Amino acid sequence: MVISLSRVLISDEVDPKCVDILQSHGVEVVTNTKLSKNELIAEIPKYDGLIVRSATKVTAEVINAGKNLKIIGRAGTGVDNIDCQVATERGIIVMNTPGGNTLSAAEHTCALIISLTRDLARAAQSMKEERWDRKAFMGIELNGKTLAIIGLGRIGREVALRMQSFGMKTIGYDPIIGAEVAAEFNTEWLPLENLWPLADFITVHTPLIPATTNLINDDVFAKCKRGMCVINCARGGIIDEAALLRALESGQCGGAGLDVFVEEPPKDYSLAKHPKVTATPHLGASTREAQSRVAVEIAEQFIDLVQGKQLFGAVNAPALSNALSPESQPWVRLGENLGVLGSLLARDSVASMHLTTIGTSLDKAGSYLSAAMLAGYLRSTRSGDADAPLNLINAPVLAKQAGLTVKMSTQSQVSTTASISVIFTTAGGQSVQLAGSVAGEAVTKNGASVIGLSLSQAVNASVCGIINLSSALANGLEALKTIVSSSNQAVL
Ligand SMILES: NC(=O)C1=CN([C@@H]2O[C@H](COP(=O)(O)OP(=O)(O)OC[C@H]3O[C@@H](n4cnc5c(N)ncnc54)[C@H](O)[C@@H]3O)[C@@H](O)[C@H]2O)C=CC1
Ligand SMILES: O=C(O)C(=O)COP(=O)(O)O
């Protein structure tokens, strides 16, 4: 799958290095950070690429209006402001720059923890008001206290390492990162129920997903030590804001450091204004270093993708990662053509496909080959929304929605000429088996795949031939049958 980009819209404040890199590769870039929702919807059809931070809400409406959109880039980490599901269904790549702002977010988290222990924000404000009030600001030491880290990914572990230098004991929970990995950064992995009562501070570093929404709620506050403090430099909504306000009021929660809010900017500032809260306006990634990194990274990732060099940072295109190299292009075409052929030969709608890759060179090709096959199959069978392209990004999702199941197997034989074999089984139980390979420079140069066919019940024949698949498909099934039955091992 080849992706070309001609015009990119940047709709949030992104370091100018991003524009420079894209322009130096011939991409036209328009920066407009003042677009209202409706203006963005009106503007987006002109672009094939969009780059945002957290401010632009890339909703289904925006994505559906983006008739030419191929890629949405997030100069940062969280993609919760982008409707990734709709983007995927429309075959649009969503890409972020994981890691570019990790250290800045970790440092900001540490700053919030430290600020809380000494009430720095209010103490500094009192000095600006010319009040020398030493009695009002009795703090606590971090040394010997326990910090619970929920989410032991990139930021969580950097926070752990930094706060350990203050003498804090770090404990943590993550459903994917286990105890052994946590121990590598001196953090004791504990199940949540065991962790709540031990923590003096709890900091969250997870994405906002259903499992983490309101993760810290009234019940959790009740299980914590009285006076424990919470920090949220991840996403608004991981800590239930109403429950936090109640816990601050009752004294169950001793303080909160908040960088993120359910609504940004918040309509209701009662949490931010609360005397026990140190709040910042989503500044975790707002450092020169982080902004420079994410701007360069997103631009370079776009260019690498367009040049077919590599796919980095895509959050919704697992099939694409091995499909960009020039060597894989004929295989992608073969897969698509086999999908089309399967749909032509199967008399009923296909309920399942079983793809087998043969040969070690195709060991990692199963996911893009099956996606290519599904794209070809769906392209040839679908009616309706012809607007949305069918490609390696959306074909697996749309096939799943249509109830089509896909099985993949690998036969890793070193000496074998690489080939693929697929069995299409219809809802009525008929099956069509096709086998194909990409052979020879001369054939692949003019874009045609060579395919060895073995047709079973669906055409009630058992023939084997080699045909120029592209021209056969262009002439339709009847022509194909004629070609197959009249040719034996001939390239047409
Ligand atoms: N305030 C700011 O400006 C910034 C905020 N962020 C946010 O910080 C958060 C963390 O970012 P990274 O560390 O880069 O992400 P990451 O993907 O490296 O780590 C997230 C971790 O959360 C874990 N997790 C998922 N579900 C969980 C659950 N139910 N309970 C506990 N852990 C769970 C994952 O397994 C993963 O290890 C994200 O929400 C990101 O958007 C990131 C950068 C800047
Ligand atoms: O990268 C993230 O997840 C962030 O929250 C940073 O957001 P921002 O790019 O500063 O709007």
Write down the pLDDT at residue 474: 58
Write down the pLDDT at residue 386: 62
Write down the pLDDT at residue 456: 39
Task: Specify whether 367 is located in the same domain as 439.
Answer: yes
Measured N-to-C along each axis, helices 476-486 and 328-345 cross at an angle, to the nearest 10 degrees, of 100
pLDDT single digits (tens) 416-462? 688 899 999 999 898 888 888 886 533 444 444 555 554 433 333 33
H/E stretch holding 91 reads: none
Q: How far is the CA of 175 from the centre of ligand 1 (A)?
A: 12
Paired tokens of 212: 């983490």
Alpha carbon nearest to ligand 2 atom 6, residue:
285
Task: Specify whether 71 is located in the same domain as 152.
Answer: no
Write down the pLDDT at residue 475: 54
State the pTM of this model: 0.90
Domain annotation covers residue 1? no
Q: How far is the CA of 3 from the centre of ligand 2 (A)?
A: 26
Q: Is 454 left (phi over 0), alpha (psi -120 to 50) or beta?
A: beta
Q: Is the CB of 285 under 6 A from ligand 2?
A: yes
- Angle 463-468-473 from CA coordinates, rounded to 5°: 85
Domain annotation covers residue 78? yes
The residue behind tokens 């209202």 is 36
Mean predicted confidence (pLDDT) in 311-336: 90
Q: How far is the CA of 176 from the centre of ligand 2 (A)?
A: 23
Task: Specify whether 152 is located in the same domain as 264.
Answer: yes
In whole angstroms, what is the distance from residue 97 CA to residue 302 CA? Answer: 11
Indicate which ligand has the atom closest to the C-alpha of 181.
1
Mean predicted confidence (pLDDT) in 238-243: 98
Domain annotation covers residue 96? yes
Task: Specify whether 46 is located in the same domain as 141.
Answer: no
Task: Specify whether 347 is located in the same domain as 484.
Answer: yes
Q: Is the CB of 56 under 6 A from ligand 2?
A: no
Task: Specify whether 326 is located in the same domain as 460.
Answer: yes
Q: Which band of pLDDT confidence, cut at 50, 70 and 90, is reported for residue 388?
A: confident
Q: How far is the CA of 302 from the centre of ligand 2 (A)?
A: 19
Q: Is the CB of 157 under 6 A from ligand 1?
A: no
The ipTM assigned to this model is 0.99
Final residue before a domain boundary, out of 279, 305, 340: 279
- CATH number of residue 332's parent domain: 3.30.1330.90
Q: Which of 18, 57, 74, 77 to mutate to test the pocket of ligand 2 (most atoms within 8 A of CB)?
A: 77
Task: Specify whether 402 is located in the same domain as 484.
Answer: yes
pLDDT single digits (tens) 93-135? 999 999 999 999 999 999 999 999 999 999 999 999 999 999 9
- CATH number of residue 147's parent domain: 3.40.50.720
Q: How far is the CA of 105 from the centre of ligand 2 (A)?
A: 9
For residue 264, the Cα-to-chain-centroid distance in whole angstroms is: 22
Atom index in ligand 2 nearest the CA of residue 260 equals: 5
In whole angstroms, what is the distance from residue 113 CA to residue 129 CA? Answer: 24
Report the catalytic residues.
Answer: 235, 264, 282
Task: Specify whether 62 is located in the same domain as 160.
Answer: no
pLDDT single digits (tens) 393-409? 999 999 999 999 999 99
In whole angstroms, what is the distance from residue 82 CA to residue 51 CA? Answer: 11
Average pLDDT, the chain: 89
Write phi, then psi, for 431 (nearest 5 degrees): -135, 150
Among candidate residues 334, 353, 315, 352, the one with its CA nearest the CA of residue 419: 334
Q: Is the CB of 276 under 6 A from ligand 2?
A: no
Q: How far is the CA of 355 from the centre of ligand 2 (A)?
A: 40
Write down the pLDDT at residue 44: 98
Q: Which of 282, 283, 288, 292 to mutate to test the pocket of ligand 2 (most atoms within 8 A of CB)?
A: 282
Task: Specify whether 129 is located in the same domain as 92.
Answer: no
Q: Give the least confident one: 178-187, 203-212, 366-375, 469-478.
A: 469-478
Q: Is the CB of 102 under 6 A from ligand 1?
A: yes
Percent of the chain past pLDDT 70, that is, above it, reads 87
The residue behind tokens 């990995």 is 181
Handedness of CA 28, 32, 33, 38 (dihedral sign): negative
Task: Specify whether 354 is located in the same domain as 441.
Answer: yes
Mean predicted confidence (pLDDT) in 189-194: 98
Task: Specify whether 272 is located in the same domain as 389.
Answer: no
- Print the domain residue range for 24: 7-100+288-317
Burial class (CB in 10 A: 0-12, 13-18, 19+), 176: exposed
Q: Give the least confident one: 9-18, 211-220, 462-471.
A: 462-471
Sheet holding 201-204, edge to edge: 187-189, 169-173, 146-150, 201-204, 228-232, 253-258, 277-279
Q: Give the least confident one: 268-272, 281-285, 432-436, 461-465.
A: 461-465
Q: Is the CB of 118 under 6 A from ligand 1?
A: no
Task: Specify whether 364 is located in the same domain as 253.
Answer: no
Paired tokens of 57: 């809400």
Q: Is the CB of 152 under 6 A from ligand 1?
A: yes
Indicate which ligand has the atom closest to the C-alpha of 282.
1
